[in-house]
Amino acid sequence: MSHYTPTLANRAQPSAQWIEKMRASYPVESAVDEVFTRKLHSRLKPVEHTMDFSKLQQPLLEFLQGETGQADIVVANLKRLPGGASKEQFTFDLTWQPEPGKRETRRLMIRMDPTESIVETHRLRESQVLRAMWGEVPVPEVLWIDPLGEQLGHPALIASFLEGTVQPEQPENSEKMSGVGMYFKPELRDGLSQQFVDILAKIHAIDWRKKDLSTFDIPQSNSTQANEWAIGLWERAWNEDTLSAHPIMERAVLWLKENMPVVGEPVIVHGDYRTGNFMYTDDLEINAIFDWELAYYGDYHDDLSWATLGLFGGSDEEGKPLSSSLMYQEDFLARYERASGNKVDMKKLSYYHIFSYYKIAVIAAATSVRVAYSRRTHLDAMMNFASGLGSVATSELNRLLDKATA
């Protein structure tokens, strides 16, 4: 497959011909190509994102009337949720008849694409993996999907809304973005840490061949294909979104390609398994794992590297680093091996740590800057703030590459 590096002029003003060159240059799954191509075509039209969602109520009502076949349903209390760096999220109350003769009001949530996201992902794909997980591990129940946004304006899924805590009370003057550096008191760590690892082991043990995951391309076993597709996704995102070239990113992607490990039997990789993406109840039961949009078939070491990444972890009371702010890395990996039966290969873990920082650099140094600059996000300020993580990520990326090539 040929490799095409776009010029900055191409990136600033994409053409249909340039889009086709990008599609031909990077090996990615078909669903990934679909959403990336849709993103590029949308850039051909000037669009300014708006925080006004007042026009969502009527299309939502009509969509749900069609899905339920009930003309007398009521949609009320539609509200935007705070945060949601990659997707817009809303809650609302739906009054309907889930079964004949039974009328009830249920609180639901919407996950909807913004005009452009920090990670372009596929709502049908996300709904499929959530449904595959339902009954296996704690996740919200997906109820309806508008995969192309033909009725709601943007691709969206509607799921149950769960009550619980995502971010515990933090030390005074501590502002944490998206779970980065979050602090859990010792009693919380004691109650949550082993569950957190055990759930990850369950995810990796699920037989995806028995699930409806038609939007996932299946990589060859005992090959590098899963990693070729994964690297292709992030390299394509970098080259479509960055506003400036960066030598460390060029160095990193070359090293990642030259050192790709073979994936024996692919598992479902969550893709964003860390603090900030799970919720727990008052009795310290993890009742939801969120943000499955980056899930794919790959190596379980990818999830392990993400969950043990220094950037996402906090420290204990003595300043010692904790993986996902919950437990020491050595204990995390030992618990995972016992729970999963999978052996942790430290060389592979180091490879995926480098890949993880490459992904973060793409999101923070390229895509976040692009969508904020283009006014295509509902969180301009957060995206500009997140861009600062790009410098952290590229610095750490360079350090790890120096170590790997020493």
Return the pLDDT at 48: 58
119 against 67, higher pLDDT: 67
151 and 288 in a single domain? The answer is no
376 against 216, higher pLDDT: 216
117 and 213 in a single domain? The answer is no
Tens-place pLDDT, residues 33-85: 999 998 888 887 766 555 567 789 999 999 999 999 999 999 999 999 876 56
129 and 183 in a single domain? The answer is no
Q: For every residue of the chain, which 3-state class applies, written as one string?
A: CCCCCCCHHHHHCCCHHHHHHHHHHCCCCHHHHHHHHHHHHHCCCCCCCCCCCHHHHHHHHHHHHHHHCCCCCEEEEEEECCCCCCCEEEEEEEEEEEECCEEEEEEEEEEECCCCCCCCCCHHHHHHHHHHHCCCCCCCCEEEEECCCCCCCCCEEEEECCCCECCCCCCCCCCCCCCCCCCCCHHHHHHHHHHHHHHHHHHHHCCHHHCCCCCCCCCCCCECHHHHHHHHHHHHHHHHHCCCCCHHHHHHHHHHHHCCCCECCCEEECCCCCCCCEEECCCCCEEEECCCCCCEEECHHHHHHHHCCHHHCCECCCCCECECCCECHHHHHHHHHHHHCCCCCHHHHHHHHHHHHHHHHHHHHHHHHHHHHCCCCCCHHHHHHHCHHHHHHHHHHHHHHHHHHC
Return the pLDDT at 371: 73
184 and 324 in a single domain? The answer is yes
Q: pLDDT tier at 87 (50, 70, 90 boundaries)? A: confident
Mean residue pLDDT across the chain: 90
108 and 221 in a single domain? The answer is no
199 and 252 in a single domain? The answer is yes
CA dist., res. 117 & res. 367, Å (int): 8
137 and 258 in a single domain? The answer is no
Return the pLDDT at 202: 98
Return the pLDDT at 317: 93
Domain that holds residue 138: 54-160
Q: pLDDT tier at 95 (50, 70, 90 boundaries)? A: very high
* Contact indicator for 271, 292 with CB cutoff of 8 Å: yes
Tens-place pLDDT, residues 203-229: 999 999 999 999 999 999 999 999 999
CB atoms within 10 A of CB 190: 13
Read off the CATH number of the domain in which 96 is found.
3.30.200.20
Return the pLDDT at 2: 47
Tens-place pLDDT, residues 164-195: 999 898 876 555 556 677 899 999 999 999 99
pLDDT of 392 strictly over 60: yes
Q: Mean pLDDT across the stretch 107-119?
A: 87
Return the pLDDT at 385: 59
- List C-alpha distances in Å: 225 to 52, 76, 105: 43, 47, 47
Q: pLDDT tier at 1 (50, 70, 90 boundaries)? A: very low
Q: Which residues pair with 158 in a beta bridge?
A: 110, 144
Return the pLDDT at 380: 56
Q: Which of 43-47, 97-101, 304-308, 336-340 has the lowest mean pLDDT?
A: 43-47
Q: Mean pLDDT across the stretch 96-106?
A: 93
**Boundary residue ending a domain (102, 129, 160):** 160
102 and 226 in a single domain? The answer is no
pLDDT of 296 strictly over 70: yes
pLDDT of 10 strictly over 60: no
Return the pLDDT at 370: 75
193 and 145 in a single domain? The answer is no
Establish if 39 belongs to a structural domain: no
Token pair for residue 205?
A: 């043990």
95 and 193 in a single domain? The answer is no
Q: Which of 79-83, 213-217, 256-260, 279-283 has the lowest mean pLDDT?
A: 79-83
